[in-house]
Structure 1
């Protein structure tokens, strides 16, 4: 594993970073479908360790990444140093202040789900609408917790390899139906030749957000051409049927 400073970002990368090629091809398809013209300026909100920043930067898009987690942003800043067209800010959704600044705003791999209060979700969509240029594209990728609850597993376990070490991850899930919050308690553990067994605990709280709620909030803010998808393989509007809730919308011209 890496230094203690980067330990959490290493664990995130080991278990939650997937192949970016499908994502970037989907985003490129979305941009064309919504008539987004070059030059493109994109906000990657909740950019994590910066896996998509490198893709957008390589494409030549002017890219702004926002990430509030101090460990994840350390890695994202290293990515930004590779490009003149990539900037990273230590901000979350509340840091979106611009007016008609971006052609695309994308929240990839679930950051919108961390907004557990309805008023924060509404405020964030308002900020996003304001920050988009006329004709701009919003894309949200989040967990479909209604599907997850219908296929509920209170415990999951898996392994990954990082720097030659086998890392175990056990996750316990809990649902607070009164407050519509889904909680994941993660335990990472592995054997270290010097320290013995190392254990790291993480707790994440997510808002249980339904498609109908999100559609209502998007329409109320003024978004149009709202479409939904099940995966990054999609190339047309789809009925949501699986574990992902992916949605795109346009700010009118």
Structure 2
């Protein structure tokens, strides 16, 4: 099916209200995209004056589910994007097949599984989403890949028996926590599980670019029956991009209405944090380009920073 690309718009909420159910999960709107019952996170609230007011500190604990893969799958389930990400990471870090590698915030395991397919060994993937870790394990079993996937908190990584040679945080997965101090704790945690001289690879949104180039409002068709509506705005202190996503079935109505955010780092700001956390040789390793197979907007994946650093 030929999908329409994502579209810039000013929403006509009175027009939408005729077919978007905003009843917070009452009969007729309580199914996810897989047809399973869902517990609503928030009522659909129509237009809101301030996105930041509705943001919860732990939004990330509920965001990464089947609907996330449906909505973002045109980017994060695309093999070409995954291979491009890995090619950039390997070029920047010099990762060798026998080295011990941690894919932190690994999601559904796409980078780890592609590394395994290429013959890399000693791979561990950690993510806070139970749903995505289960999916990663299922996919590993299907391809007979030897990868260790486990649920964990990136701020408190369990010490391995053998320190890692390289840790990567890929796919714009850094900067989700409520405070900069929590982001800093991620860097400290990574430092503790790396061997001396081990490498950290960060792939994150280009904060300075996003501040002036984000799309305030877009909508996208996901398939014949599902669409997503997005609102975006800078936080009051301009340190984060706040977003709202509403996922809709064109007959059943709203499936999810949630708010999320990413902290906007410049290279200079993050380099300072890395040095405070005990890293040296901090380098800007360029960028990487991804695509949407539906021809739609890339959001925070549109322009990224690739940063490498070495543990002391």
Given the two structures, how large is their TM-score scaled by the length of structure 1? 0.81
Among residues 266, 278, 290, which one is paired with 1:210 in the alignment? 266
Among residues 252, 272, 277, which one is paired with 1:221 in the alignment? 277
Classify the secondary structure of the residue corresponding to 2:222: strand
Q: Runs of 5+ in structure 1 lacking a partner?
A: 234-241
Per residue, is there more strand in 1 or in 2? 1
8 Å contact kept, 1:227–1:247: yes
Note the alpha carbon deviations across 1:75-101, whole angstroms, 9 max, x for none. Answer: 122123344521111112123132661
Report the equivalent of 1:40.
99
Structure number with greater CO (CA < 8 Å, separation at least 6) is 2
Note the alpha carbon deviations across 1:86-142, whole angstroms, 9 max, x for none. Answer: 111111212313266111111111221212312112221111112111221101111
Report the equivalent of 1:14.
73
Report the equivalent of 2:157.
96
8 Å contact kept, 2:140–2:147: yes
8 Å contact kept, 2:267–2:284: no
8 Å contact kept, 1:9–1:49: no
Report the equivalent of 1:139.
201
Classify the secondary structure of the residue corresponding to 2:152: coil
8 Å contact kept, 2:93–2:199: yes
Kindly name which structure, 1 or 2, has the bigger radius of gyration based on alpha carbons.
Answer: 2
Cα RMSD for the two superposed structures: 2.5
CA distance 1:146–1:179, change in 2 (3 Å):
closer
Classify the secondary structure of the residue corresponding to 2:115: helix
Q: CA deviation at 1:167?
A: 3.0
State the distance in 2 between where 1:228 and 1:157 align. 33
State the distance in 1 between where 2:188 and 2:83 align. 30
Classify the secondary structure of the residue corresponding to 2:34: coil
Report the equivalent of 1:249.
309
8 Å contact kept, 1:9–1:75: no
Report the equivalent of 1:170.
229
State the distance in 1 between where 2:35 and 2:130 align. 14
Report the equivalent of 1:124.
186
8 Å contact kept, 1:189–1:199: yes
